[in-house]
Structure 1
Amino acid sequence: MLGHEGPGSLLSALKARGWCNSLVGGTRIGARGFGFFGVQVDLTEEGVAHIDDIIKLVFQYMEMLKVAGPQRWVWEEQRDLMALEFRYKDKLEPRNLEFPMEDVLCAYYLMTEWKPELIQELLSLLTPENVRVGIVAKCFAEKCTMTEPWYGTKYLQEDIEDSKIQEWKSVKPTPELHLPPPNEFIPTKLTLESGEDSTAHSVAPTVILDSPLMRLWFKKDSEFHLPKAVMTFDLVSPLAYMDPLSCNLTSVWVLLLRDSLQQFAYAAELAGLRWSIGNAKYGISVTIDGYDDKQSVLLDKIMDQMIGFTADPKRFHIMKENHIRAIKNFEAEQPYQHAVYQQALCLADVVWTRCQLLEAADLRKAIPTLPPRAQYPCR
């Protein structure tokens, strides 16, 4: 629940305040016999100034979970999703697993017993007295007066003030934070299509519709026999890469669109529906893959959001900041990334350099719009 990204989640509350870009919550193994439960928050520049408030919100969410108590419907939903993933899972590489032989394949997936007392026991351990807070940011460089002996990294270790511990212990639930609604994207139709396959004798996808507005390719799976599908829509517009400013605007627009969809689409990801929206030289690409039963619901929401999208000014400035930082941080990327970049500069007809993108990163306009007569080939 702490890592949830839907309505009423901790991430939703932090994003509304402009303090956070992303959040991950979950367990990690410390060594044999014990582990840690952690929440990692990717802060915005404004968020760095509200660290204590963010920690308070974390404990408010935990208090909400304790007051609500273990919810059987949440456990049953998770059980069904994990059983579905196990039943239709792709092949994996073998690895070392310390489980009895009969549980090796299913240990991470199949949940068989509802034990609310174990949930209560875990929640009782998530207290301010047991917390360790780590903060990483350049603005704290001058405060780091200690040096670790292996890599020479500067750091500072200090105890949390008792007053803060008491403040976090006394938090009360807030209506802003609540449990997510039931997942509407869990598939119920898992049977395979049995109709005539016009592409049975074709190795590659076949064009089944060709018009001035749309070109549609299709290929029915005849190998894996899973109730899954892949849809890719390429929306072609010359404005997407017309000049460095247009390239920047399109990139930030896509970041904003993905950000606005995350709260709704997170439930789809939990239900085995993967989605992505990206930009390229030709325009914008939308891909959805996974169980096909509820793909149309997700696609309708994405298209509705794209057509009527209005950017939140606060999120616009955050996404613009992230975009510019990514361009500047390219110097720290792996060598092969630099090789690909230099190859593109040498071989591609039109490529905007990082320097050109930075010079045009003022983004005086709001967001780009696709032209009314743009061609939208779909495949």
Structure 2
Amino acid sequence: YSVFSISITLTDEGYEHFYEVAHTVFQYLKMLQKLGPEKRIFEEIQKIEDNEFHYQEQTDPVEYVENMCENMQLYPLQDFLTGDQLLFEYKPEVIAEALNQLVPPKANLVLLSGANEGKCDLKEKWFGTQYSMEDVENSWAELWKTNFELNPDLHLPAENKYIATDFMLKAFDCPETEYPVKIVNTPQGCLWYKKDNKFKIPKAYIRFHLISPLIQKSAANVVLFDIFVNILTHNLAEPAYEADVAQLEYKLVAGEHGLIIRVKGFNHKLPLLFQLIIDYLAEFSSTPAVFTMITEQLKKTYFNILIKPETLAKDVRLLILEYARWSMIDKYRALMDGLSLESLLSFVKEFKSQLFVEGLVQGNVTSTESMDFLKYVVDKLNFMPLEQEMPVQFQVVELPSGHHLCKVRALNKGDANSEVTVYYQSGTRSLREYTLMELLV
């Protein structure tokens, strides 16, 4: 039983020093106890929860009913709907009382890792999961009983600049349209725009696709691009954390043709998050340690795809259908052959030098404001246009009529499972026919 839990993803080195990691957590909790409750932070959380509650999206009915039943056991009648979401009254003594319970002697440390194999001498009776139990190392247990020193680098977060405060619905500055329309078209990029005239909420959705033919020139380039997007995501984790807390969402995707940037949330502070992402993209850098960490993670990701019959079958199917596609085996070999940080930085520099940027902005944003997003990308990255127009999608091979069988031996000898994929190719159809086929499936 617990009332508070913290989950931390460890690197291999972090696994070897997990006590030091836990100690840093306890130092931070002790710092919070010494400083006491902060009304500013309470009010920030209160505002964020209030914003989310008033503009929340529709949830699954079953999940909503289950949650309501739980609330009925915990809150008085008037708080059934809001008790687990909204903060009403600042009570520092209640916060302090809860905070003072978060001390090392009351903590349970759980270390989950494949590296624990062979070290677990117990087995639970339901699923046969192996585990072990042991006391905290004596040196750490004794240290945590004392008034240990705090790390001077630990501090409270600064004021969250991403919390929305302006929820005014913007007036139309161009004719209403049913679908997004292209309002900018230049050699460097284009922009599609749609003003929300249906939901009428103070939110927006932004999607940009930074297209480059460089990615598909070799399997090594595809891998370097994967590494680049993973490191960029890693670099953004800390500076974009406040935006995540403020209910703004972003995602970076390594697409087949380029980098896809998706941002959504309250439109008031959404430009700040978008600009942060572009700034980190423009000034991309990596340390050798981060490069090594990401490449090792990617090796595991590629390997896991190859040893699972269902994901391997999908990769083989796409390899048959898509012209000049690089297979997962090609990518895995390129990664295992060795790539350097220098080759990554050289690739990123070339990638950013010549692009075509296609963007979509829709929601509670004016057309003038939407054009600023594209302008910021073009001005910040300062790239040249592509020499020739690039297709957005791969062409698919038209399979000859008849039955064809492709057999592939699984790469994981220890997995007795098999995968059968039956693929029917229909050719070009209308939107209605595509929809009917999806309904059929």
* Correspondent of 1:122 among 98, 111, 124: 98
Between the aligned partners of 1:175 and 1:126, the Cα distance in structure 2 is: 20
Alpha-carbon offset, residue 128 of structure 1: 1.7
Is the counterpart of residue 350 in structure 1 residue 328 in structure 2? no
CA contact (8 A) 1:241 1:283 kept: no
Is the counterpart of residue 185 in structure 1 residue 162 in structure 2? yes
Gaps of 5+ in 2: 361-441
Is the counterpart of residue 220 in structure 1 residue 220 in structure 2? no
* Correspondent of 2:49 among 82, 85, 92: 82
* Correspondent of 1:305 among 280, 288, 309: 280
Is the counterpart of residue 360 in structure 1 residue 325 in structure 2? no
Three-state SS of the structure 2 residue aligned to 1:366 is helix
Q: Give runs of aligned pairs for residues 5-154 of structure 1, distance below 5 A.
A: 30=1, 35-94=2-61, 95-96=65-66, 97=68, 98=70, 99=72, 100-154=76-130
Between the aligned partners of 1:196 and 1:238, the Cα distance in structure 2 is: 36
- Report the counterpart of residue 175 of structure 1 in structure 2: 152
Alpha-carbon offset, residue 50 of structure 1: 0.5
Between the aligned partners of 1:129 and 1:272, the Cα distance in structure 2 is: 34
Structure with the higher strand share, 1 or 2: 1
Of 322-331 and 249-258, more deviation after overlay is shown by 322-331
* Correspondent of 1:375 among 341, 345, 356: 356
Number of matched residues? Answer: 343
Mark the CA change 1:332 to 1:89 in structure 2 (over 3 Å): closer, same or farther. farther
Mark the CA change 1:147 to 1:195 in structure 2 (over 3 Å): closer, same or farther. closer
- Report the counterpart of residue 27 of structure 1 in structure 2: none
Q: Give runs of aligned pairs for residues 318-357 of structure 1, distance below 5 A.
A: 318-330=293-305, 335=310, 337=311, 340-357=314-331
Alpha-carbon offset, residue 333 of structure 1: 5.9
CA contact (8 A) 2:172 2:195 kept: no
- Report the counterpart of residue 8 of structure 1 in structure 2: none
Q: Give runs of aligned pairs for residues 199-348 of structure 1, distance below 5 A.
A: 200=176, 202-330=177-305, 335=310, 337=311, 340-348=314-322
Three-state SS of the structure 1 residue aligned to 2:170 is coil
Write out per-residue CA displacement over residues 337-376 of structure 1, whole angstroms, 9 at most, x where no aligned residue: 5554344233222332221111100223233221533222
Between the aligned partners of 2:27 and 2:93, the Cα distance in structure 1 is: 21
CA contact (8 A) 1:188 1:293 kept: yes
Mark the CA change 1:371 to 1:124 in structure 2 (over 3 Å): closer, same or farther. closer
Of 276-285 and 143-152, more deviation after overlay is shown by 143-152
Between the aligned partners of 2:60 and 2:13, the Cα distance in structure 1 is: 43
Three-state SS of the structure 1 residue aligned to 2:353 is coil
* Residue identity in the other structure for 1:110: L
Mark the CA change 1:154 to 1:93 in structure 2 (over 3 Å): closer, same or farther. closer
Give the alignment's TM-score, normalised by structure 1: 0.85
Between the aligned partners of 2:309 and 2:87, the Cα distance in structure 1 is: 40
Alpha-carbon offset, residue 160 of structure 1: 2.2
Name the Cα RMSD after superposition.
1.9
Between the aligned partners of 2:352 and 2:168, the Cα distance in structure 1 is: 40
Between the aligned partners of 1:211 and 1:73, the Cα distance in structure 2 is: 46
* Residue identity in the other structure for 1:347: L
CA contact (8 A) 1:230 1:288 kept: yes
* Residue identity in the other structure for 1:344: L
Write out per-residue CA displacement over residues 144-193 of structure 1, whole angstroms, 9 at most, x where no aligned residue: 12222222222211222444222123322222111100101111221011
Give the alignment's TM-score, normalised by structure 2: 0.74
Mark the CA change 1:150 to 1:272 in structure 2 (over 3 Å): closer, same or farther. closer
Computing the radius of gyration from Cα coordinates, the structure with the larger value is 2
Identity %: 29
Between the aligned partners of 2:20 and 2:54, the Cα distance in structure 1 is: 42
* Residue identity in the other structure for 1:157: M
Alpha-carbon offset, residue 302 of structure 1: 1.4
Mark the CA change 1:206 to 1:92 in structure 2 (over 3 Å): closer, same or farther. same
Mark the CA change 1:177 to 1:261 in structure 2 (over 3 Å): closer, same or farther. same
Alpha-carbon offset, residue 235 of structure 1: 0.4
- Report the counterpart of residue 7 of structure 1 in structure 2: none
Three-state SS of the structure 2 residue aligned to 1:278 is strand
CA contact (8 A) 1:244 1:356 kept: yes
Mark the CA change 1:334 to 1:93 in structure 2 (over 3 Å): closer, same or farther. farther
Between the aligned partners of 1:80 and 1:249, the Cα distance in structure 2 is: 41
Between the aligned partners of 2:115 and 2:59, the Cα distance in structure 1 is: 43
Alpha-carbon offset, residue 113 of structure 1: 1.1
Alpha-carbon offset, residue 105 of structure 1: 2.5
CA contact (8 A) 1:232 1:285 kept: yes
* Residue identity in the other structure for 2:270: Q
Three-state SS of the structure 1 residue aligned to 2:153 is coil
Of 319-328 and 368-377, more deviation after overlay is shown by 368-377
Which portions of structure 1, spanning 4 or more consecutive aligned residues, are displaced by more than 6 angstroms? none
Between the aligned partners of 1:331 and 1:58, the Cα distance in structure 2 is: 37
* Residue identity in the other structure for 1:179: L
CA contact (8 A) 2:316 2:327 kept: no
* Residue identity in the other structure for 1:47: G
